[in-house]
Amino acid sequence: MTLRLGDIVPNFTQESTEGPINLYDYGAGSWVILFSHPKDFTPVCTTELGAVARLKPEFEKRNVKVLGLSVDPLKDHHAWKGDIAETQGVALNFPLLADADRKVSDLYGMIHPNANDTLTVRSVFVIDPNKKLRLTITYPASTGRNFDEILRVIDSLQLTDKNKVATPVNWKDGDDCIIVPSLSNEDAKKLFPQGWKELKPYLRMVKQPGR
């Protein structure tokens, strides 16, 4: 199954380090980031799980619940948790799905057989409170992800859901935004009474709404 942006994501129930997780129940009323790891007791994954555990307050601030996945059994996950705490200086503080039967990995297309037959790639799925898929990113097993970038995209998604703006290259929270081209100048005057800088009729820079 190929999941595309805007699709309603499929539900599942799977074992995790915090008991069985039903995705729709877990994510009720929240955003969810679901991300896969190739294998337990691997170095890059260990650093990623530590980084996400440290960033958990940042995800919570944005009403995002975190959900990891690795295709190893629960007993391995529990043993790995000790290594994560020891080497990363932070305990795993979110559920890690034990997808040994590949139920979720197959459902979400996390195994790319031409990269590896059995292990998942590093997939990221950002799901909104309406269960719509809003972002996918796929990294190779050998490259650790940049979770600050994922937070940045979530900031952009949440801002652009509420305001008639888009965010330019390398935007980060607080930077100027772009008025969406579909908004006429007449309507833009009502939404942005403080005005904007028009570089081209289709490129109108405005202060970030709500700042």
Closest C-alpha to 122, from 100, 102, 101, 144: 144
Q: How far is the CB of 76 from ligand BEZ (least distance, A)?
A: 14
Kindly identify the residues of this chain, within the stretch 1-40, that bind ligand BEZ according to CB under 6 A. 38-39
Residue 50 makes contact with ligand BEZ by CB under 6 A: no
- x/- mask, ligand BEZ, residues 140-159, rule CB under 6 A, reads -xx-----------------
Tokens for 53, please give them: 């555990």
Task: For ligand BEZ, give the closer residue by CB, 66 or 177.
Answer: 66
Q: Does 52 bind ligand BEZ (CB under 6 A)?
A: no
Please identify which residue in the block is written with the tokens 């043993």.
79
Q: Which of residues 59 and 80 has its CB atom nearest to ligand BEZ in the complex?
A: 80
Instruction: Tell whether residue 112 is a contact of ligand BEZ (CB under 6 A).
Output: no
Q: Does 138 bind ligand BEZ (CB under 6 A)?
A: no
The DSSP annotation for 45-88 comes to HHHHHHHHHHHHHHHHHTTEEEEEEESS-HHHHHHHHHHHHHHH
Q: Which CB, 38 or 50, lies closer to ligand BEZ?
A: 38
Please, are residues 179 and 206 in contact by the beta-carbon 8 Å criterion?
A: yes
CA 30 to chain centre: 12
Residues 6+ apart with CB under 8 A from 91: 53, 81, 84, 85
| Under rule CB under 6 A, residue 68 binds ligand BEZ | no
Q: Which helix (H) or strand (E) holds 185?
A: helix 185-191
Q: Which of 21, 23, 45, 154 binds ligand BEZ (CB under 6 A)?
A: 45
CB of 47 to ligand BEZ, least distance (A): 8
Clarify whether 45 is annotated catalytic.
Answer: yes
Classified as helix, coil or strand, 188 is helix
Q: Which of 23, 33, 45, 206 is catalytic?
A: 45
User: Do residues 68 and 163 lie in contact, with contact meaning Cβ atoms separated by under 8 Å?
Assistant: no
Task: Give the catalytic positions in this structure.
Answer: 45
Where do contacts with ligand BEZ occur on this chain (CB under 6 A)? 38-39, 42-45, 141-142
